[in-house]
Amino acid sequence: MPKRGKQYRAAADKFDRQRRYTLEEGCDLVPQVKNAKFDESVDVAVRLGVNPKYADQMVRGAVVMPHGTGKTLRVAVFAKGEKAKEAEDAGADIVGAEDLMEKIQGGFFDFDATVATPDMMGVVGRLGRVLGPRGLMPNPKVGTVTFDVEKVIKELKAGRVEFRVEKAGIVHAPVGRASFEAAKIRENILALMELLLKLKPSSAKGTYIKSIAVSTTMGPSIRFDPQEVVSQVSK
């Protein structure tokens, strides 16, 4: 067991670590468990009843959080001509083609998300080894390879979150900041849960949503009642 600091222990003492809270109760607790001087990120971890080693049980997608994540993403776009101009007008932080590829090959990674038009994937493909491990490779499955660059850039800036189930069957996603009102965190979690339920693989057997936990960057995790949260999605 790692040794925890006084602030962490004090935050953990404010709730029952073994209890599974309702969505409303858990979100109300979030502001109480933050223990850093900065505005901590609030993240959710959802354990799914899937086995990601099978392709037909891979859960992957993107959701626009109703209230954003509290962070403005820096977006890099691979495009030429009119689409490059469209990307600039939409608020892209950096736009380019072969020149951007060379810049990234030289060590430039001052961006948080990457978008590419389909005709630029021949160029972007050469960056797979450096963008892939960083989670920055554009992918048509989550809508970041598209000619509709304006739409996806605006979604990313507004709080679009991409997720992919990990080897242990867990999906991690940011759902706001500790300074957010509890209602905003709740609605962001519901938006993610609604999409996860829609993405349930037909081959997944047994309980699909096994557990849900929410934590701030430096704080302890709060366990939610998965059945109660799922029931809120359908309301």
Residue 45 lies in a domain: yes
Neighbouring-strand partners of residue 132: none
CATH code at 183? 3.30.190.20
**63: nearest Cα among 138, 181, 164, 214:** 164
Question: What's the number of domains the chain is made of?
Answer: 2
CA distances from 216 to 41, 52, 93 (A): 5, 26, 28
**Average pLDDT over the chain, rounded to whole?**
92
CATH code at 116? 3.40.50.790
Confidence of residue 75 (pLDDT cuts 50, 70, 90): very high
Structure tokens at 212: 């849900």
Confidence of residue 1 (pLDDT cuts 50, 70, 90): very low
CA distance linking residue 24 with residue 229, whole number of Å: 9
**175: nearest Cα among 158, 159, 188:** 188
Please indicate, yes or no, whether residues 51 and 79 belong to a single structural domain of this protein.
Answer: no
Confidence of residue 31 (pLDDT cuts 50, 70, 90): confident
pLDDT surpassing 60 at residue 6: yes
Q: What is the pLDDT of residue 2?
A: 59
CA distance linking residue 116 with residue 125, whole number of Å: 11
CA distance linking residue 174 with residue 185, whole number of Å: 10
Q: What is the pLDDT of residue 71?
A: 87
Q: Is the pTM of this model over 0.85?
A: no
Containing structural domain, residue 128: 75-158
CB atoms within 10 A of CB 47: 18
pLDDT surpassing 90 at residue 189: yes
Please indicate, yes or no, whether residues 115 and 139 belong to a single structural domain of this protein.
Answer: yes
Please indicate, yes or no, whether residues 35 and 57 belong to a single structural domain of this protein.
Answer: yes
Choose between 162 and 193: higher pLDDT: 193
Number of H-type helices and E-type strands within the chain: 9, 9
